[in-house]
Amino acid sequence: MPEALLEIDRISKRYGDVVALRDMSFEVRAGEMFGFVGSNGAGKTTTMRIALGVLAADSGEVRWNGSPITFETRRRIGYMPEERGLYPKMKVAEQLAYLAELHGSGSAAARRAADVWIERLGLTEKRDEEVQKLSLGNQQRVQLAAALVHDPEVLVLDEPFSGLDPVAVDVMSQVLREKCAEGVPVVFSSHQLELVERLCDRVGIVRSGHMVACGTVAELRSGGTERVMVDVDGAGYGWVDALSGVRVVERQGSRAVLELERGVDDQEVLRAAVAAGRVREFAPHRPSLTELFRNVVTEEAAA
């Protein structure tokens, strides 16, 4: 059996004069969690809706296990739309069983699956309540259950973490990790970049409908200039000006982040720091995904 693989291949979509997507490409493999980040309106939701066949692309192709995705294969995707979609007046258990049946499960299997996910996501007490009467957080859990209830082979989740309390975030993360470990490729979009950094194996950063950076967080970090974080007691940072190819990027109290141009030896910098004062801290500085995101997005904007 071929390994599960979801490929988004050079998808473009325009609305009149507005380009929503331009050659959007990425792929997600079995057991991989892919984080999809970008500013509002960058094209994340459009990409996901095209993958689900809810929207038609102008050009490009979505492939599942090597073949273009069809109506039948789409049924194996678990989807959580950005704007939540459930029948407001339908009871939780009935609704989940109905969605499972629509995705091809038999009646008995559908009810069983609904019960499994209701219990797993802590909704047991709410199983016979109408969805509209639940809190937003609980509605979100039902929405996740709706994406999982037919035991999908791929998960495509648009902003699954938005509006969740910390406990629900943990439950959701745990479920996604488990699915991932079962070999299900998972794609989700989020603005919570720390969460993406913590959970995802790979990250794609989108800007204006185009993928501008894609890879593991470590890969995204490499290639940039080297940075070090120093904390030198009392002396200020005037000494940095004497070093060529080094500049202060950021200062926070007695700490500073220095950017070293290629070829500059960090040991030289350390010696200069020791000469300047009492060094409390000297460490390579790894930019967070948030900083990477900011850099990527602003670099492109400037270009």
Partner 1 sequence: MTAPTSPSGSTALSPARGVMLVARRELRTRLRSRSFVIGTIITIAVIAAYVGFMYFMGSSSSHVNVGLTGQATAVAEPLKTASKAMGKEVDTQSVSDPATGERMVRDGDLDALVVGAPGALKVVVQKEISDELRAALDGLTRQQALDARLAEAGLNPVDVNREVANARVTVSTLEVPDPQQDQRKVLAFASLFLLFFSVQTFGSMVAQGVVEEKSSRVVEILLSTVRPWQLMVGKVLGIGLVGLVQLVIIGGVALGAAIGADVLTLPDAAVGTLASVLGWYLIGFFLYAMILAASAALVSRQEELGSVLTPVLMLLMVSFFVGFTLLRNPGNKLVEVLSLIPPFGPVLMPSRIALGVAPAWQIALSVGLTVLAVVGIAWLGGRIYANAVLRTGGRVKLREALRTE
Between 90 and 272, CB nearer to partner 1: 90
Binding characters for partner 1, 144-163, by CB under 8 A (x = yes): --x---xxxx----------
Q: According to the binding rule CB under 8 A, does residue 277 interact with partner 1?
A: no
Tell whether residue 88 is a contact of partner 1 (CB under 8 A). yes
What phi and psi, each to the nearest 5 degrees, are found at residue 155?
A: -120, 130
Decide if residue 56 touches partner 1 (CB under 8 A): yes
Measured in degrees and rounded to the nearest 5, phi and psi for residue 122 equal 70, 35
Q: How far is the CB of 220 from partner 1 (least distance, A)?
A: 31
- Asked if 105 touches partner 1 (CB under 8 A), the answer is yes
Residue owning tokens 């892919």:
34
- Asked if 96 interacts with partner 1 (CB under 8 A), we say no
**Is 65 among the residues that bind partner 1 (CB under 8 A)?**
yes
> What is the DSSP code (8-state) at residue 84?
-
Q: Does 79 help bind partner 1 (rule: CB under 8 A)?
A: yes
Question: According to the binding rule CB under 8 A, does residue 71 interact with partner 1?
Answer: yes
Q: Is residue 30 a contact point for partner 1 (CB under 8 A)?
A: no
- Both structure tokens of 207: 């800007």
Name the one range near partner 1 by CB under 8 A: 60-68, 241-249, 256-264, 291-299.
Answer: 60-68
Q: Footprint of partner 1 on residues 110-129 (CB under 8 A)?
A: 113
| Residue among 217, 149, 154, 161 nearest 189 (CA) | 161
Shortest separation between residue 243's beta carbon and partner 1, angstroms? 56
- What are the beta bridge partners of residue 68? 63
Based on CB atoms, which residue is closest to partner 1, 41 or 104? 104
Helix (H, G, I), strand (E, B) or coil at 65: coil
Of 98, 237, 239, 282, the one binding partner 1 by CB under 8 A:
98
Q: Distance between alpha carbon 41 and the CA centroid of its chain, in Å?
A: 15
Other CB atoms closer than 10 Å to residue 126's CB: what's the count?
Answer: 21
Element housing 206 (H / E): strand 202-207
Tokens of 43: 């094209």
Which of 16, 17, 40, 83 touches partner 1 (CB under 8 A)?
83
Query: Among 109, 103, 56, 98, which Cα is nearest to 78's?
Result: 103
Q: For the CB of residue 89, give the shortest distance to partner 1 in the complex, in Å.
A: 7
- DSSP class per residue in 175-196: HHHHHHHTT--EEEE-S-HHHH
Tokens of 17: 């004069």
Compare residues 151 and 259 and give the one whose CB is closer to partner 1: 151
Which residue, 68 or 224, is less far from partner 1 as judged by CB?
Answer: 68
Q: Minimum Å distance from CB 94 to partner 1?
A: 8
Nearest distance from C-beta of residue 97 to partner 1, angstroms: 10
Pick between residue 143 and residue 190 the one whose CB is nearest to partner 1: 143
Residue where the block lists tokens 């699956």: 113
Buried b vs exposed e over 26-49: b needs ≥16 C-beta within 10 Å? bbbebbbbbbbbbeeebbbbbbbb
Note the residues at the interface with partner 1 (CB under 8 A): 1-2, 49, 52-56, 64-67, 71-77, 79, 81, 83-90, 94, 98-106, 109, 113, 146, 150-153
